[in-house]
Amino acid sequence: MATASCPAVASAQSSAITVETDLRLQVRAEIRRLSDSSRSVRIQAEEALLKLGTNVLPLLPPPDLLKSLSARQAIRRVRVRLEHDVAEQSLRPSTVTLAGEYSVEDFVLEIEKQTGNSILTSRLARPELDRKVNLSLQETPFWNAVRLLEADDLEVEFERETGQLNLKQCVSRRLKPVSAVDRAFRIEASAFTSQNAGADKSTLLSSQLRILCEPRLRPLFLRYRTSDFGLSMHASKNAIEPFNSGATIEVPLGNGGREAVLSLSFLSGESTARQASLHGKAVLLVAASEQPISFRGIGQSKSVSRRRGGVTVTVNEVRFEASRSKHHNARVQLKVNYDLGANAFESHQTWVFHNRVYLVDPDGHQHTMNGGFNTLYQGDGSVGIEYLFEDLPTDPANCEFVYVAPTLLINVEIPITLRDIPIVKADSKQE
């Protein structure tokens, strides 16, 4: 059977190569027409590139390499349009279609296969993994499928450092948060805690709001204004404004961050309400696309530049030294530059310092950065960074250096409406 399938596999691979070659030839032909003296020909070429779709993005040349001004401008417009399409596609929820009886372990494997979202189950014992679940899912959004996994005594949480989603047993009997799903995001609010706020008998209500991304996405930065939020009690038709209604909060999500946390407080004259409804909005800066940028033989890569999408990475300096254990240390200095025309490079650049970097030795083993990094400079649209690799068991000069860069950044507005959020006394146990 294996022998019989080989011709079919080879044929499929050959067809894929042919399609890719044809696409490259089409792109090159249309790019040449972008420099035509006829305006109508240039317009037709630009429209043809757009019709080819998002697969042409890796094939578009950097605009500054084109001699024709009209071609440079057209390529920038095409890139922006297609990157917007990529972003819109990435924000749609990944879905699960599944019917029948499955163990929790097999259900998780199916979710991973169909959505591309990894869920770790190493914290679960065999009885929990073998527990059976009856399913009837038809294009069910990822977070709704996860909710079925959490139906009994299980819950998911993101690892703070790695950003990996863990399925684990609930560790307490606290009230479960009220949640909603919007595209590739889950929004959830913990119960409001109430406490006396002063002599006027007003009540301070506080809650934490979490916005969780599908693991395949990478949120970089959270921004929200407290004045965009309001709280309503079921006993009153009037919306309650936040306690600090003039604040604008900006939070970098850091290394591995897949969730954003908002702290909200409201001052209410109502002290007997048991539930409240929350409405508002927040904005996430999301890396809608990430690409590995590789430098083979990092020891010979000084002054070499690589470009993916609207980002260029240049190796400025590479230094090696012996470690105390007679292994190797390596310092790699980079310049990372984002095209302002293609990607909105935010004034808050802290997320850049948490992009993933690693070395791959000749045997294929991956060595993550373990010595931290130094910020060399920050400019408009560019940063200089030095990465430190310590105690490497192999000669780093022969390793491949890989920098994983977000090549498409997008601001995503998350509308928030959560109803029937419990209100509990601050000194009571949420059981």
Give the Cα separation of 370 and 388 in Å (integer): 7
The confidence score (pLDDT) of residue 411 equals 85
What torsion do the CA atoms of 406, 410, 411, 412 make, to the nearest 10 degrees? Answer: -100
DSSP secondary structure, 13-56, as one string? HHHHHHHHHHHHHHHHHHHHHTT-S-HHHHHHHHHHHHHH-GGG
Residue 341: phi, psi to the nearest 5? -75, -25
Give the Cα separation of 190 and 192 in Å (integer): 6
Query: How far is C-alpha 51 from the chain's CA centre?
Result: 27
User: pTM of the full predicted structure?
Assistant: 0.75
Start-to-end CA span in the chain (Å): 59
278, 273, 272, 269: which is closest to 197 by C-alpha? 269
Residue 315 token pair: 């190796």
Give the Cα separation of 371 and 352 in Å (integer): 17
The confidence score (pLDDT) of residue 291 equals 81
- According to the 3-state scheme, what is the secondary structure of 118-172? CEECCCCCHHHHHCEEEEEEEEEEHHHHHHHHCCCCEEEEECCCCCCEEEEECCC
The confidence score (pLDDT) of residue 43 equals 95
The confidence score (pLDDT) of residue 431 equals 46
Rg, the chain, Cα only: 26
CB-based contacts of 363: which residues, under 8 Å, 6+ apart? 394
* Count of CA atoms in the C-beta half-sphere (13 A) of 185: 23
Q: Encode pLDDT of 408-431 as tens digits.
A: 778 899 999 999 999 998 775 444
Give the Cα separation of 133 and 117 in Å (integer): 20
Give the Cα separation of 284 and 272 in Å (integer): 35
Residue 203: phi, psi to the nearest 5? -120, 130
189, 183, 221: which is closest to 205 by C-alpha? 189
pLDDT tens per residue across all 431 residues of the chain: 444 455 555 555 555 556 667 898 999 999 999 999 999 999 999 999 999 998 888 788 877 778 899 999 999 899 888 878 887 888 899 999 999 999 999 999 999 999 999 999 998 999 999 999 999 999 999 999 999 998 778 889 898 777 889 999 887 666 788 999 999 999 999 999 988 876 567 888 999 999 999 998 888 888 999 999 999 886 556 678 788 777 888 888 765 678 888 999 998 877 777 889 999 999 998 887 778 899 999 999 999 998 876 788 999 999 998 877 778 999 999 999 876 544 444 445 667 777 889 999 999 999 988 888 999 988 767 889 999 999 998 889 999 999 998 877 788 999 999 999 999 987 754 44
The confidence score (pLDDT) of residue 241 equals 79
Sequence length of the chain is 431
The confidence score (pLDDT) of residue 147 equals 93
Give the Cα separation of 100 and 377 in Å (integer): 56
Confirm if 190 and 208 have CB atoms less than 8 A apart: yes
360, 406, 408, 367: which is closest to 390 by C-alpha? 367
